[in-house]
Structure 1
Amino acid sequence: MRVWSLHPRYLDQKGLVACWRETLLAQKVLLGETKGYRNHPQLIRFRAQPDPVASVGAYLRGIHDEAVARGYNFDEGKIVSRSPAERIDVTEGQLAFEAAHLRAKLEVRDPARRATLPQLPGPHPLFRVVPGGVEDWEKV
């Protein structure tokens, strides 16, 4: 499971679709509707929020907005919560780590998109960038 901290505009088609599907799975986990992935480290930052389901809903809306901008047909009805969510801090180190991870994927899947990826891409709209290294929950 990869719930990217990077803005979804940087993801290629496969990455955006995978992020949508994996975040829908994360939503199910947070709702207690599945037994798998309950302890996945990618969910720590959502669980730490006052309303984890609202936070994952806000994340999914960001993915959905990018899909709509590209002309994709993601089912917005799958987003359970429409409640507003507080922004979540993400460190510069985490963004840099994810950017390197995405560069490696794009090198194989979409070299043209890789060439346009900034050195430090911006965050998903749910996240606010703060100083710091790679997040403790990240598997390095």
Structure 2
Amino acid sequence: MRLWSLHPSILDRAALVACWREALLAQKVLEGGTRGYKAHPQLIRFRAHPEPTLAVGAFLTGLRAEATARGYSFDGSRIHVPAIPQETVSIPVTDGQLTYELGHLQRKVAARAEEWLPHLPTDGVVPSHPLFAAEAGPVESWEVVSDS
């Protein structure tokens, strides 16, 4: 499960679609609708939010907005608690986490959709999903760090 902290506008098609599917699964997990994935590290930050289902709804709403802007059709009725990310209590994310995720995305994009590489930031400024508030710090403790 990869719930990108990155702004949805920099995700390539495959990452955006996969994140949508995985966030729908996260929604189900947070609502107690599944037995699997309950301890997945990507869910820690959503569980720490004062309203976890609202937070995942805001996350999904942000993904859907980007998908709509690109002409994709993500079914908004699948978001159980829709919320505007900028009007929801933000979740902190470190700049180290954003940089790590950007590197991870760059490797993925280089292998599957090189034409998307120019869409990725190269100026050191890594934008976050509107639900997240960037702050200084290392890679998040919940991240499972890998080279691929």
Equivalent residue number for residue 36 of structure 1: 36
- Structure 2-normalised TM-score? 0.91
Distance across 2 between alignment mates of 1:95 and 1:112: 22
> Bigger shift: 80-89 or 45-54?
80-89
**In structure 2, what is the equivalent of residue 72 of structure 1?**
72
> How far apart are the structure 1 equivalents of 2:88 and 2:127?
19
Q: How does 1:39-50 map to 2 (within 5 A)?
A: 39-50=39-50
Q: What residue ranges of structure 1 are gaps of 5+ in the alignment? A: none
Deviation at 1:36, TM superposition (A): 0.8
Aligned residue pair count: 140
Moved over 3 A (4+): none
SS of 1:128's partner is strand
For normalisation by structure 1, the TM-score amounts to 0.96
Q: Of 84, 88, 101, which residue of structure 2 is paired with 1:85? A: 88
Q: 1:116 to 1:82 in 2, by over 3 A?
A: closer
- What do the CA deviations read for 1:58-82 (whole angstroms, capped 9, x no partner)? 0000000000000101000000113
Q: CA deviation at 1:121?
A: 2.2
Q: Which runs of 5+ in 2 are unaligned?
A: none
Q: Percent identity?
A: 54
Structure 1 vs Structure 2 CA RMSD: 1.0
